[in-house]
Chains A and B, each alone.
Chain A
């Protein structure tokens, strides 16, 4: 069984947010409910100001604090290393949202970011909170896949409806292999500068492990002990020589 993990290379990332929109359409997210967000920030003074950015999916922690605090065991870790939410069990208490150090969880019934509310325009039927006309065929409430019912928390699931169908023994889940393309997570598949890599963290020969080693991969907020399965790498070609927030930089600043 693979332990799925992701590497994001900030040296290549252009901050375009295609990961965000690909995820939104693949997973039927509401406007602004960006499971895979990109955060921008500026530093310094004109004319030496720098703008930097960092994409932020769910870290799919090895030691997920959201799982620990969930009172109904709705949030759980799968055998292949992904943190999922069972919408049939979630009671919307939001403990997980507070416990998550990375801010990557979303509650369904927030005030809409954009008016008119798409939930009113594309009304859901039955338990669907909304029903966009382009809704994909996949729906599995036990894994937090598809459109959520009201009153629950949702999050990035590494496109579990795709990756869980990858052939057994897959090491690198990459576009490079035509037979695997349909199983690659939406954000990884579309990333134009190829700043994302996906594969088995348990296999020492996987591409993700090679890049983590070669470019000194680091994880966000290591001190929390959550041990994310999303690694960041960077290099001299990054925007403003981007340093990974809260982590080591592979660029020697000294």
Chain B
């Protein structure tokens, strides 16, 4: 009976949908892709062609990678996303998150327009009781509040916090707003909760505060320290494309992964070295030790001993080893004078009778080429960093360290990659420096199959300069206030951001209390270490949220100004380092906004227009976000991209401007620039210093000037004014800062050693007996898929499951604690307790528990909210690397028991 009923209704259904099927078939028929057209063509098409499938170019927003995407829209409905072909990152491919992007557009829990809070109480369980308001009221509310604050002389109490920034049409707007308004807290980025340690390491060693670009295509050896290459490392999609290439090319690229757990990356590598969390530097130093003692460094790049012998002898300084060698040679000569005499007599014959003048070189002299301080580093740090020493610290067997060092030192090209695995500890910067030093030892810098520094795109200038709209208030000395996160002050002189400390500092009123905060693409009340402090801190601050989703920040918001989702935006995405050559990406809306939301740039511009004083004129001159995009696109007119993009329209059509190839190349220790046909234009040492190694020495510094406190500063005349050259430029001179004293105070490093990559024991937090590691999963790398049911269903592989994520625990450890597979467990640190389900796996170190990061939302939408397990941030202490300011996410210790 039931079957019959179904049958009837199914037939009716068929009749009803037959036309849709037929239209779809027509749209797809033919070899010439009839029915598919790019946006500009589609716009030109007759409006009657409603059944046409239109493809618009966009940029995926689920991680920072900048994958160009083709968005398929039929009858006004977005129904598919694929990677864009002819795009330097996506190449027609996508990662698993990319396809789920349509869900972020049609998320049923989105805000439908601006909202005002009516419940003054804030907390996890407080309903904000939002009521809809008009955009005009929303903008006026913000502007009035900021104007009042400014009138009181307290504009520094306003802060802009941003997370995933895209480029000049969002991030680019914060600084000018802050400068004209008069707050040092615009913006504060999330980078200190990301990977700042590796960036500071590169600044210290290469004069380059950023991520490397990598030539994966041509490398033959990848030594990976804690980068989750096949899960969350950026750009995941492109990295997988390269993985397929590297693993099947000839010769196959060999991969060694240093990890704290059996991740997908570790599993897929040729060798996994399971290192104790926070000890990466010891392993890297031991690898360097073996490479140096066995003569495996790249002599073309680094240089060599003047006498051609190797004076890196285990446990000895170079001078001592060279002296011993000289002594031994003397003794040998005395013992066998006949041989020595024969050799001496033979020498002039080789020189065809010419008289050879041999200048005396000091024993052990090392002619360093593109590096600085190798011998000093050896003498001070590396000489005693034996594999056995490292094995005791890291838990990695000494023989494995030797094997990896030999492989890495003898395979060319080879390179090291790393990120917050080594970085997210109290010793993060020095860990990252030790790892990065290996790149210089193999000469990977700017080499084929090596690492590069990326170049920026030639954007056009905005029509107005904000500096001309600063009033006397904004310019006054009174506005020189410390930032709320205290970076660039005495406690964090080298850090660029310190977002994780804002809540704590606000509660303590140190340096002051905030009044108003605006958040974009960041949610530290959920993601920060010790995140519960934020739940207290944000209670008495006026919060403006801009996420279109009901995330935790918006649950504390006094105003929600929802921005468009990415498929509805016209937005510039500046490139992230990957290929080295410059790229500029553009989002184009696939459909008209579904709801009453706004472009983020317009939110800032509209608030700006309502501000008092000259800054309102600046925003009136900018007008709207499209003007910004058009102005930026002007830059491509004079410099068309390799794909022909030379205007706003062509940029929209292709979705990306890029210019190949990368401009620089180091070949066997010589630097060249691309001359239009080849890497054939030789670079001088000055060129290299000006364009590539922007350190004081113009070289890769094993002994970092920056961390010794040596900086280039403006020279002052006796009267206190800055000296100028004849052509009006500042005269620069070497100046001494007390960076070394700061490092000595914070980390106990002696004043003589602050410049060297070295191992300092990590300061573990939390007080338990097990390390607590909180990696990102492939399906949820930046947390934006938390409310997508399809993503939740696919959280595997190891820590994941099909409906939730699990706590990964070694079976031996579990047995000792009386825990069985799938048991509910309590994980405790000094901060508190969370619950999770145990997954026993032989892929876990016996001393380490693993629970994925950013699960366990208490908001974010119907599928995310209340879905276990507990959130790792609640039991992760807020400790930072004192140098880079990077939060020590992976340095927690916990205990575990059956719940």
Contacts and interface: CB of A to CB of B under 8 A. Distances in A.
Decide whether A and B assemble into one complex: yes
B789 A114 contact: yes
B3 A116 contact: no
Contacts of B238: 192
Contacts of A29: 790
Nearest to A115: B863
B31 A121 contact: no
Contacts of B776: none
B347 interface: no
Given A132-B106, A136-B79, A18 B802 contact: no
B475 interface: no
A202 interface: no
Interface in B316-364: none
A14 B264 contact: yes
A180 B33 CA distance: 8
A40 B798 contact: yes
B637 interface: no
Contacts of A73: none
A126 B8 CA distance: 11
Nearest to A239: B268
Interface in A143-196: 146, 149-151, 161-162, 165, 167, 175, 178-182, 186, 189-195
Contacts of A162: 28
A26 B80 contact: yes
Interface in B1-24: 2-3, 6-7, 9-14, 16-17, 20-21, 23-24
Interface string B57-97: 00000000000000000110111111101000000111111
Interface stretch (B242-250, B505-513, B818-826, B870-878): B242-250
A91 interface: yes
Contact of A134 (B36, B79, B272, B796): B79
Contacts of A191: 93
Contact of B797 (A40, A44, A149, A238): A40
Given A179-B31, A189-B92, A137 B23 contact: yes
Contacts of A78: none
A136 B862 CA distance: 24
A108 to B, nearest CB: 11
A137 B75 contact: yes
B80 A25 contact: yes
A237 B248 contact: yes
Interface stretch (B552-560, B678-686, B838-846): B838-846
A168 to B, nearest CB: 10
B793 interface: yes
Contacts of B236: 16
B106 A134 contact: yes
Contacts of B646: none
Contacts of A194: 241, 244
Contacts of A190: 82-83, 93-94, 98-99
Contact of A46 (B20, B21, B106, B846): B846
Contacts of A186: 82
A215 to B, nearest CB: 9
Interface string B624-640: 00000000000000000
B241 A240 contact: no
Given A44-B842, A135-B79, A167-B31, A88 B7 contact: yes
A209 interface: no
A113 interface: yes
A113 B821 CA distance: 21
A167 B262 CA distance: 45
Contacts of B245: 193
Contacts of A195: 244
A151 B3 contact: yes
Interface residues of B, number: 91
A193 B249 CA distance: 12
B588 to A, nearest CB: 18
Interface in A36-61: 38, 40, 42, 44-47, 49-53
- A contact face: mostly helix, strand, loop, or mixed: loop
A181 B28 CA distance: 11
Contacts of B262: 42, 49-51
A80 B9 CA distance: 30
A235 interface: yes
Given A192-B93, A195-B244, A16 B778 contact: yes
B760 interface: no
B794 interface: yes
B98 A165 contact: no
Given A32-B793, A42-B841, A192 B100 contact: no
B571 interface: no
Contacts of B96: 16-18, 20-21
A22 interface: yes
Given A15-B264, A167-B31, A31 B792 contact: yes
Nearest to A28: B79
B486 interface: no
B10 A141 contact: yes
B240 interface: yes
A235 B243 contact: no
B643 interface: no
Contact of B102 (A25, A121, A161, A192): A25
A17 B82 contact: no
B31 to A, nearest CB: 5
Contact of A116 (B36, B103, B790, B862): B862
B267 interface: yes
A86 B257 CA distance: 48
Nearest to B16: A126
Contacts of B31: 167, 179-180
B893 interface: no
Interface centre among B96, B103, B802 (most CB of A within 10 A): B96
Interface in A82-113: 87-88, 91-92, 113
A230 B248 CA distance: 21
B27 A137 contact: yes
Contacts of A150: 6
Given A21-B99, A132-B106, A235-B248, A113 B243 contact: no
B108 interface: yes
B218 interface: no
B432 to A, nearest CB: 24
Given A46-B842, A182-B28, A16 B106 contact: no
Interface string B823-834: 000000000000
A37 to B, nearest CB: 9
B89 to A, nearest CB: 11
A124 to B, nearest CB: 10
A91 B1 CA distance: 12
A140 B21 contact: yes
Most buried by B among A24, A42, A182: A182
Pick from B74, B80, B798, B845 the residue with the most CB of A within 10 Å: B80
A136 B75 CA distance: 10
Q: Which 8 A-B pairs have the closest CB atoms?
A: A193-B244, A127-B13, A237-B247, A192-B240, A49-B842, A51-B267, A137-B24, A40-B797
12 contacts: A16-B96, A17-B779, A20-B794, A113-B803, A126-B17, A132-B106, A134-B77, A161-B28, A189-B92, A192-B241, A192-B244, A239-B267
Interface of A: 9, 11-12, 14-18, 20-22, 24-26, 29, 31-32, 34, 38, 40, 42, 44-47, 49-53, 87-88, 91-92, 113-114, 116, 118, 121-122, 126-128, 132-141, 146, 149-151, 161-162, 165, 167, 175, 178-182, 186, 189-195, 235-240
Given A15-B797, A18-B96, 6 more contacts: A32-B802, A46-B845, A49-B842, A52-B267, A161-B28, A182-B33
Interface of B: 2-3, 6-7, 9-14, 16-17, 20-21, 23-25, 27-29, 31-33, 36, 51, 53, 74-75, 77-83, 85, 92-100, 102-103, 105-106, 108, 230, 236-238, 240-241, 243-245, 247-248, 252, 262, 264, 267-268, 272, 274, 778-779, 789-794, 796-798, 802-803, 810, 812, 841-846, 862-863
